[in-house]
Amino acid sequence: MFKFFTQKKWFLWSIGGTLLILSATWYQVQLDVRINEWFGEFYDTLQKALTEPNSVSEKEFISYLFTFAKIAAVYILVVIFSDYFTSHWTFRWRTAMADYYHDYWGDASSIEGASQRVQEDTLKFARIMEGLGAELLRSLMTLIAFTPILWGLSKSITVLPWIGEVEHALVWVAILSALGGTLLLASVGIKLPGIEYDIQKEEAAYRKELVLGEDFKESAKPEKITDLYGGVRKIHYRMYFHYLYFNAVKWSYLQGMVIVPYLALAPTIVTGAITLGFVQQIIRAFGRVETSLQYLVRSWPIIVELISVWKRLREFEAKLEINRSIEIAK
């Protein structure tokens, strides 16, 4: 699965491409930081304009909007290029895997489900890594960029409801709430990777019998097909049940977290100690840090699928190595 990073012919894409993706992602985060600063300045200006008539000219107000438009335009261009290049990068990763399997297809073709592993699972692996990997990079870099910002902004927020004085309170609220949510969702969804793996096994057995029935009349008899489909139905119903309570916990947690920063800011807001622009800036910074820390929570269903694909490819490669060893021994 990782020949892409170990074979010399792929170094330009694997190493060079990774550095380019890292650079593009970091630049996106820096633009997001600039947008966060803009929110603070803009909402302070908006508050001033609303509370003090004619204190802000129309030209000055519109200039803020054009400033945002310029930053957003650059951000859009970087995102479009980054996504385009990442798609090519992950396809090269898939190609490196496929080339390896093609080279040893003589040893692989006798393995159960070999064609599905080489075609379908390499495709799934590449697509999942494209989305999941890119989001992981963004989360890590956003965390690196915004945590110091939130730390600095939190100097003015020293009191939490029901708790009292806490230095840099919002940073600790973000960390603890995200960590708590991650542990909660991980414990609730611990059975999902195994179920996803079992689904693929049942689906593979069902599909194989149908394929055999295309060439051999004695295969794919109604009784056999009905029995295999019964296994498919049973494991899917099991998955639906487990996702029922998983999603109930997940969405309850995510919706509850919407009010957390406002709750933490409540003692400071009601005293009028901060401006509207500062509130917007700190809420946005808090959201970036919190969302980055919630990476596992938000990505868990996709991670479940990745674990399933990884297990299947790992088993396939282990069997392939055994077949190669037997062939070499001959």
DSSP 8-state assignment for residue 222: H
Residue 72 CB contacts under 8 Å (≥ 6 apart), including other chains: 35
The confidence score (pLDDT) of residue 74 equals 93
Residue 308 CB contacts under 8 Å (≥ 6 apart), including other chains: 193, 196, 197, 199, 200
For the four alpha carbons of 192, 250, 301 and 174, in that order, the dihedral sign comes to negative
**Three-class secondary structure of residue 159 per DSSP:** strand
C-alpha of 69 from chain center:
27
- Using alpha carbons, select from 74, 97, 93, 79 the residue that is nearest to residue 24: 79
| CATH domain 3-329 topology | ABC transporter transmembrane region fold (1.20.1560)
- Using alpha carbons, select from 295, 282, 30 the residue that is nearest to residue 139: 295
**3-state SS string for 281-328:** HHHHHHHHHHHHHCHHHHHHHHHHHHHHHHHHHHHHHHHHHHHHHHHH
The confidence score (pLDDT) of residue 1 equals 67
The confidence score (pLDDT) of residue 109 equals 67
pTM of the model: 0.70
Burial class (CB in 10 A: 0-12, 13-18, 19+), 223: exposed
- Label the pairing between strands 159-160 and 164-165: antiparallel
pLDDT tens digits, residue range 1-13? 677 888 888 888 8
- Using alpha carbons, select from 99, 148, 72, 68 the residue that is nearest to residue 1: 99
CA angle 136, 139, 143 (to 5 degrees): 145
The confidence score (pLDDT) of residue 66 equals 92
- Using alpha carbons, select from 147, 185, 151 the residue that is nearest to residue 168: 151
Residue 268 CB contacts under 8 Å (≥ 6 apart), including other chains: 156, 157, 159, 274
Q: List Cα–Cα distances, 56 to 18, 120, 230, 292, 318, in angstroms.
A: 46, 60, 70, 36, 69
- Using alpha carbons, select from 10, 77, 286, 51 the residue that is nearest to residue 172: 286
Taking the chain (330 residues) in consecutive chunks of 10 residues, what is each chunk's mean pLDDT? 79 88 90 87 84 82 90 92 89 86 75 75 83 83 83 77 77 83 83 80 80 72 82 89 88 84 81 77 82 77 80 81 72
Element at 165 (helix H, strand E): strand 164-165
**β-sheet bridge partners, residue 165:** 159
Contact 183, 253 (CB under 8 A): no
What is the C-alpha to C-alpha distance for residues 35 and 32, in angstroms, rounded to an integer?
A: 5
Residue 269 tokens read as: 């807001």
Phi, psi (deg, nearest 5) at residue 216: -125, 120
The confidence score (pLDDT) of residue 330 equals 63
